[in-house]
Amino acid sequence: MLLGPPAAGLLVDIFGDYKYLFFMCGTVILTGGLFLFVMNIYNYHMLEKEKPGKDGEQNQLNVESQEHVSALEVEMKHTPEVEMERSEPEAKEANGVQREPQPESAETPH
């Protein structure tokens, strides 16, 4: 940025023409664009290279979290608080007692 005006003045003083100044400005812009283009391709290449490693780590984390959740669910099913919260029919079914058949034609009293 700070070298542009002195370099442009030097080019005009040496050659006595402004066309070389415009060539210099165009070259600076093209160099910056080419650098961004190359670095963008390099960045995508590096992201693709890292992707299989991240997928493997993510799958491992998912498996571990599923195992942890299933272990917590098993622990929660056998706690005394959960056993007490069950309704009487659920508790009978869990203990192996069969339900009493209810007559299909029974009407509810009004």
CB atoms near residue 57 (< 10 Å): 10
pLDDT confidence of residue 41: 96
Secondary structure (3-state) at 105: coil
Report percent pLDDT > 70 for the chain: 52
Give the tens place of pLDDT for each residue, 5-49: 899 999 999 999 999 999 999 999 999 999 999 999 999 999 888
Comparing CA positions, the residue from 52, 70, 50, 48 lying closest to residue 60 is 52
* Domain annotation covers residue 81: yes
* Domain annotation covers residue 50: yes
Number of domains in the chain: 1
* Domain annotation covers residue 106: no
Tokens representing 86 are 């069950």
- Find the domain containing 81 and state its range: 4-92
Q: Average pLDDT, whole number, for the chain?
A: 77
Residue 66: which pLDDT band, with cuts at 50, 70 and 90? Answer: confident
Report percent pLDDT > 90 for the chain: 35
- Which residues 6+ apart lie within 8 Å of 92 measured at CB? 99
pLDDT confidence of residue 62: 72
pTM here? 0.42
* Domain annotation covers residue 44: yes
* Domain annotation covers residue 71: yes
